[in-house]
Amino acid sequence: MRGAWLITLLLAAALPVQAQHAHHSGAVGASVEDLVDIARTMNPELQVTALEATAAAAKAEGAGSLADPKFQFAMEDWAKNRTGGDLPSGSTSGTTKKFRVFQEVPFWGKRDLKREIAEANARKAAVLKRLVENDLVAKVKVAYAEYHSAHLVIDLARDLKARLDTLSKLARARYGQGLGKQQDVTRAEVEKAMLDVEIARMGGERTKARARINRLLARPLDAALVEAPAPRPIPPVEALDLAVLSERARTAHPEILAQEAVIAGSDKGVALAEKGWYPDVELGFGAVRRSGDIDGYEAMLTMNIPLQWGLRDADIGESRAMAAAARAKRESRALELSNEVADAWIALRSGREVERLLRENTLPQAEIGFQAAAKTYELGRGEFLDVLMGEQQLWKSHIDLVKVLFEQQMRLAELEKLVGGVL
């Protein structure tokens, strides 16, 4: 069958491209994994979140440290100027000079709690970096699938146009011999022109997909990509257990892990607020100097008195409410993730079934119909309109297959984003 290689083209499209395509000047993208690795290294948004995570980790290292000590110098018994007036004397002889050092010491346990709160914030920042990375990887995968789909449609349109061109020449020859109709020639040219429009349109879509990929990779928008992209193989739906995927999403998704860090920090915040009832102290030590010699020392103890009950009750209430809100948010998001995983899994399973039907039934039948109409027309026993109807049905079947392949790539990327890893 002359057109059977069209189906072979679709089947082969899912196979890895040959290595020589990667040797284009400056071209990348022999596989989506290559692009993901570049995006992880070069994407500016991911770099920003990485720096924020580093800053939060650095802040946690210093959290819980004692405050800097304070130094105080004082002069006492400084006499007035004997010549009159209220200004002090120009001489400090006879004054008492005191040198004091103070150190604030929080109540036992407060420093540890502050450090643990900062560590929880650092964990949250690190997890949010993973969240941005997950989103970035999913965008790269979807853009790559769009790029591949555009290439596939262009190849199909060009092949179908070549076949129509052969039939158009036959229609023109038959018309010249008085055996055909002018309308057949016109219809063939119109159909070829429509395929030219589709090739131009998908060329624009391919350019846009390439620009999206390059933007995610922080490359020039017109930077070269491999011209024969290889889509990732879709794992069998039977190997993707919905319950396991849902559990992975509920426990390993970055948003859930971020909320776990928030909950941990909020619980420590409650404990710190409750310790607000216990006073902090400030210790001081000083030396007293008179007549040029140090002749004594002094020690001081200062503490705050927690009399503002309303203030501390408000702090504790706020901390407890924030902890409860964090737990509620985690549970709500976990439920949403389960629903999103189920939707993506069902859509992926449905797409695989549609693909099977298209490959095993619709496409072969459309090819047979087109070939039969073309053969009948060549033998002079059919109408060219039947050929065009067969061609349009074949084209629609191919486009349906491209769409369902793209949909599966999208759903796979979505599932991997939800569970936080490659499937």
Q: What is the pLDDT of residues 345-385, one digit of tens each?
A: 999 999 999 999 999 999 999 989 888 888 887 777 778 78
Radius of gyration over alpha carbons of the chain, in Å? 38
User: H or E segment at 76?
Assistant: strand 70-76
CB 303 within 8 A of CB 281: yes
- Count of helix runs (H) and strand runs (E) in the chain: 10, 4
The pLDDT of residue 20 is: 38
- Overall size of the chain counted in residues: 423
Q: Is 76 a member of any domain?
A: yes
Q: What is the pLDDT of residues 55-87, one digit of tens each?
A: 888 888 888 777 888 888 887 777 666 666 666
**What is the Cα–Cα distance from 71 to 4, expressed in whole angstroms?**
90
**DSSP H helical segments within 27-109, as ranges?**
32-42, 44-62
DSSP strands (E only) in 305-385: none
Task: Give strand pairing partners of 65.
Answer: none
Q: What is the pLDDT of residues 45-58, one digit of tens each?
A: 888 888 888 888 88
Q: Is 239 a member of any domain?
A: yes
Q: Is 223 a member of any domain?
A: yes
Average confidence (pLDDT) over 209-229: 88
User: H or E segment at 389?
Assistant: helix 384-419
- Phi, psi dihedral angles at 155 (to 5 degrees): -65, -40
The overall longest dimension of the chain from CA atoms, in Å, is 136
Q: Is 86 a member of any domain?
A: no
Q: What is the pLDDT of residues 1-60, one digit of tens each?
A: 334 333 333 333 433 333 333 333 467 878 888 888 888 888 888 888 888 888 888 888
CB under 8 Å, gap of 24 or more: what pairs does 274-277 form?
274/316, 275/107, 275/109, 275/110, 275/113, 276/306, 276/312, 276/315, 276/316, 277/306, 277/312
CB 220 within 8 A of CB 214: yes
Which pTM was predicted? 0.77
Domain of residue 301, residue span: 4-80+92-419
Q: Is 400 a member of any domain?
A: yes
Tell me the CATH number at 370: 1.20.1600.10
Q: Is 150 a member of any domain?
A: yes
End-to-end CA distance of the chain: 38
The pLDDT of residue 194 is: 86
- Output the CA torsion 219→221→227→228 (10° steps): 70
Residue 236 three-state SS = coil
Average per-residue pLDDT for the chain = 81
- Phi, psi dihedral angles at 236 (to 5 degrees): -55, 135
**What is the Cα–Cα distance from 355 to 405, expressed in whole angstroms?**
7
Q: Is 26 a member of any domain?
A: yes
| Closest-CA residue to 180 (of 389, 371, 380, 391) | 380
The pLDDT of residue 8 is: 36
Number of structural domains in the chain: 1
Residue 226 three-state SS = coil
The pLDDT of residue 402 is: 92
- Phi, psi dihedral angles at 118 (to 5 degrees): -65, -40
Q: Is 335 a member of any domain?
A: yes
Q: pLDDT confidence of 90, banded at 50, 70, 90?
A: low
Side-chain-side CA neighbours of 277 within 13 Å: the count stands at: 8
Q: Which residue has the tokens 């949250």?
A: 124
